[in-house]
C-alpha cells in the first residue's frame, strides 16, 4: 500500500534551523516534492528531488535517500513567516501522493 509519514506538528525558534522528516513506502517513485501551505492559501512548490542527495535553494534544502525511503526539508535562519504547513508528496508517474503535512510554528 501507500504510506507517507511526517510529524504532525513542530515548533522552532526564530533564527534557528529545523528539519522536517518524511518517510515513504509507495508502489512507484518518480521523485519527491515539498510544498509549503500557509493557512487559507494554496500550496506552493518548494523543492523536487529525484536523485539521492541534497538540493539547496536559499534558506531551504531538501534531501533524498531512495534506498531508505526517506527525505527531509531543512529550513535555516527561520523567520516568523515560515510558520506554515509543509507537505511531502511522492510523485508516481505524474500523480502526487501526499503526506498529511507538518504544521510548523515559529516562535520569537
Partner 1 sequence: ETGVTQTPRHLVMGMTNKKSLKCEQHLGHNAMYWYKQSAKKPLELMFVYSLEERVENNSVPSRFSPECPNSSHLFLHLHTLQPEDSALYLCASSPGRAIKPYNEQFFGPGTRLTVL
Applying CB under 8 A, which residues contact partner 1? Answer: 4, 8, 30-31, 33, 35, 40-45, 48, 50, 87, 89, 91, 93-101
Name which of 58 and 93 has its Cβ closer to partner 1.
93
Rounded CA separation 89/31 (Å): 9
Name which of 31 and 83 has its Cβ closer to partner 1.
31
- From the CB of residue 64, how many other CB atoms can be counted at a distance below 10 Å? 22
Length of the chain measured in residues: 108
Tell the smallest beta-carbon distance from residue 88 to partner 1 (Å): 9
Tell the smallest beta-carbon distance from residue 26 to partner 1 (Å): 13
Are 52 and 66 in contact by the 8 Å Cβ rule? The answer is yes
Tell the smallest beta-carbon distance from residue 93 to partner 1 (Å): 6
19 grid coordinates: 528539519
Are 92 and 32 in contact by the 8 Å Cβ rule? The answer is no
Name which of 50 and 80 has its Cβ closer to partner 1.
50
Amino acid at each position: 500500500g501507500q504510506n507517507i509519514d511526517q510529524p504532525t506538528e513542530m515548533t522552532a525558534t526564530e533564527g534557528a534551523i529545523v528539519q522536517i522528516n518524511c518517510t515513504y513506502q509507495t508502489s512507484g517513485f518518480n521523485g519527491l516534492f515539498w510544498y509549503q501551505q500557509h493557512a487559507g492559501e494554496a500550496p506552493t512548490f518548494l523543492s523536487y528531488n529525484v536523485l539521492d542527495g541534497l538540493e539547496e535553494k536559499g534558506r531551504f534544502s531538501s534531501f533524498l535517500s531512495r534506498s531508505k525511503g526517506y527525505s527531509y526539508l531543512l529550513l535555516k535562519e527561520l523567520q516568523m513567516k515560515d510558520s506554515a504547513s509543509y507537505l511531502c508528496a511522492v510523485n508516481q508517474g505524474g500523480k502526487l501522493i501526499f503526506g498529511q503535512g507538518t504544521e510548523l510554528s515559529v516562535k520569537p
